[in-house]
Structure 1
Amino acid sequence: MLLLLSICLLSDPSRCREERIDLSFEARSPTVCLRHSQSALAKWQAEHPEWHVNRWRCAVRGSEPRDL
């Protein structure tokens, strides 16, 4: 599964981009993804304090992710 993030720079909120986090498991269950995503989001945010996560969602690895 992938965790897709829409992030914006805190110092320039008009500067946004998408980021992907590989959750390193293949389960397709939304419940499993939600359970793992919270800790992955917290870790990512701690490592990137200059960015703000606006939106996020889970996606199946290998699928064509739609825009956030």
Structure 2
Amino acid sequence: MFIVLYACLISAPATCREEHLNFSVEVSAPTACMMSSQVAIAQWSESHPQWQVGRWKCVQADRLSRDI
């Protein structure tokens, strides 16, 4: 399971990028990821203070290349 973040630079909001966080959950259901991924997103945000997460979603690894 991956968390796909869409983040933009705080100092230049038009500069955005997509980040893929490998997220391991016991149950590989998107709903389980959605419920428990806030900690991983908060950690990423803390280590990237110049970026602001605008949106995110959970994607199964086998669908990652098709969903992006």
TM-score range, shorter chain: 0.7 to 0.9
Q: Alignment identity in percent?
A: 40
TM-score by length of 2: 0.85
Higher strand share: 1
Deviation string 1:29-64 (CA, Å, 9 cap, x unpaired) is 122101321100011011100000011000001223
TM-score by length of 1: 0.85
Partner Cα separation in structure 1 for residue 32 and residue 14 of structure 2: 33
> Where in structure 1 are there 5+ consecutive unaligned residues?
none
Q: Does the alignment pair 1:4 with 2:4? A: yes
> Where in structure 2 are there 5+ consecutive unaligned residues?
none
Q: Which residue of 2 aligns with 1:29?
A: 29
**Cα-Cα RMSD:** 1.5
Q: Which residue of 2 aligns with 1:38?
A: 38
Task: State the number of aligned residues.
Answer: 67
Structure 2 CA distance for partners of 1:65 and 1:37, relative to 1, 3 Å: farther
CA contact (8 A) 2:7 2:53 kept: yes
Structure 1 segments, 4+ long, off by >6 Å, are none
CA contact (8 A) 1:23 1:36 kept: no
